[in-house]
Amino acid sequence: MNREDYWYIAAESSEIPRNGVVSRSILGEWLAVFRNDAGELAALQDRCLHRTAQLSRGKVVGGHLQCPYHGWTYGQDGSVSRIPSMGPEFRPGSKCAKTYEVVEKEGYIYVRLKTGSASTPFSMPCHGVHGYTTIRLQNRFKNTVTNCAENFVDIPHTTFVHPKIFRDAKHEAFGAVIVRENGSVKVTYQNERKNFGWFSWFLNPKGVEIGHTDEFFAPNITSVHYRFGGKNHFIITSQSVPVSEEETLVYTDLTYNYGIWTLPSRPLVRWQAQVIIDQDVEILNNQMKTIQKYGANFQNSPADIIHTWIESIQAEVAEGRDPRELPRRETEIRFWV
Ligand code: FES
Ligand SMILES: [Fe+2]
């Protein structure tokens, strides 16, 4: 397995209407993703075979993608279906643009750069389940997928980057059990009673112990679950898409069930989450600047075991090995927040 073997989100379904096209970059590869009038999707390398104009700047005509420069037109299989300057003498033949596999699932459009691996697009937890609602956000980070994913499952930063709004320093010890298995890292926290700052009067008014788990799935997904007693359940799932080596587009799903408050609270939850993510964008963009200047030589504390195990998985993927074959590891840590 390497990074090209996995599925990445190219767009939300609603971003590509019938006869619509968008331009995307995944792992540095340029893509034109378009939909025909029957709703079917295709992804072509975003480069016309003729004189290399970007196909995504063209339009979809009768379900086929037309280049904006001289009008060469491509079918969903990438084959050239029309060359206007040849008029009726054109015979569809051997010319074919590079295509990629596309799958649509749970309101996301996924693309995979390499065919043939056993990977499948991730299933977003509780998406569409009765009683739950989902809020979707997109944010661009000037940093790597691994540093973004590490941030999304990093508790010690929350009191510094998101004071008041997410978590205030209380100088309390947290316990956590960390397990690495099957290409994933799962952290189960103990004795957590308060988070989300001032928001906790709403999320956890009785101050019960929160069931909190953080998971990382190779090579780009994190999923954070909070259970506040009863049915109250809040999930933040982030799919980090490698636009290039230095840029990551993060699709975040906030999926939650708060009983009768689920729908009325949507505007507040969306606003609050975006404020928190903006703070993460700022610190992660800054981190990347120093990485570009001085390199990524990280020192670790016990709380960073989570991150070093994520990095061990990413190193396997970078080497083209299957991270599911890494030996299982489990440990318990204690850290202060
Ligand atoms: S460059 Fe696309 S038709 Fe000429
Ligand atoms: Fe954060």
Residue 117 forms part of a structural domain: no
Give the C-alpha distances (Å, rounded to integers) separating 203 from 176, 261, 276, 326: 22, 10, 16, 37
Neighbours of ion ligand 2 (CB under 5 A): 280
Q: Is the pLDDT of residue 284 over 90?
A: yes
CA-nearest of 205, 207, 212, 201 to 174 is: 212
Q: pLDDT category, 315, cuts 50, 70, 90?
A: very high
pLDDT digits (tens, 9 = 90+) for 219-229: 999 999 999 88
Q: Are residues 231 and 172 part of one domain?
A: yes
Q: Are 41 and 49 a contacting pair, CB within 8 Å?
A: no
What is the per-residue pLDDT for 231?
Answer: 86
Nearest in space to 277 (alpha carbons), one of 123, 108, 162 = 162
| pLDDT for position 199 | 67
Q: To test ligand 1's pocket by mutation, which of 44, 46, 48, 73 has the most ligand atoms within 8 angstroms of CB?
A: 48
Residue nearest to atom 4 of ligand 1 (CA): 70
Model's pTM, two decimal places? Answer: 0.95
- The mean per-residue pLDDT over the stretch 267-280 comes to 96
| CA 86 / ligand 1 centre spacing (Å) | 13
Q: Is residue 51 part of a domain?
A: yes
Indicate the top mutation candidate among 45, 51, 61 to test ligand 1's pocket, ranked by most ligand atoms within 8 A of CB.
51
**How many residues in the chain?**
337
Number of Cβ within a 10 Å radius of residue 127: 16
Q: What is the pLDDT of residue 330?
A: 98
- pLDDT band of 196, cuts 50, 70, 90: low
DSSP-H helix ranges across 56-180: 145-152, 158-161
Give the pLDDT band (50/70/90) at residue 197: low
99 occurs within a structural domain: yes
- 291 CA to centre of own chain: 22
Tell whether 86 and 151 lie within a shared domain.
Answer: no
47-94 pLDDT, tens per residue? 999 999 999 999 999 999 999 999 999 999 999 999 999 999 999 988
Per-residue confidence band for 206, with pLDDT thresholds at 50, 70 and 90: confident
Same domain, 170 and 250: yes
For residue 75, report the distance from its CA to the centre of ligand 1, in Å.
Answer: 15
- Give the domain range for residue 27: 3-112
- Asked if the structure places residue 163 within a domain, the reply is yes
The predicted pLDDT at position 116 comes to: 84
Tokens 């982030």 -> residue: 238
Return the pLDDT at 250. Answer: 98
Ligand 1 binding site (Cβ under 6 Å of any ligand atom) = 48, 50-51, 53, 67, 69-72
- Percentage of the chain beyond pLDDT 70 is 96
Q: How far is the centre of ligand 1, averaged over its atoms, from the C-alpha of 97 (Å)? A: 12
Q: What average pLDDT does this structure show over 300-325?
A: 96
SS3 149: helix
Q: How many CB atoms lie within 10 A of CB 64?
A: 20
Q: Does 194 have pLDDT greater than 90? A: no
Ramachandran area for residue 251 (φ above 0: left; ψ -120 to 50: alpha; else beta): beta
Compute the average pLDDT of residues 200-225: 88
Confidence of residue 195 (pLDDT cuts 50, 70, 90): low
pLDDT in tens, 122-159: 999 999 999 999 999 999 999 999 999 999 999 999 99
Which of 47, 54, 69, 85 most suits a substitution to test ligand 1, by most atoms within 8 Å of the C-beta? Answer: 69
Please name the residue whose Cα sits nearest to atom 3 of ligand 1.
70
Atom of ligand 1 nearest to the CA of 48: 2
Split into its structural domains, the chain has a count of 2
Q: How many whole angstroms separate alpha carbon 10 and alpha carbon 282?
A: 24
What's the CATH code of the domain at 308? 3.90.380.10
| Residue 220, in any domain of the structure | yes
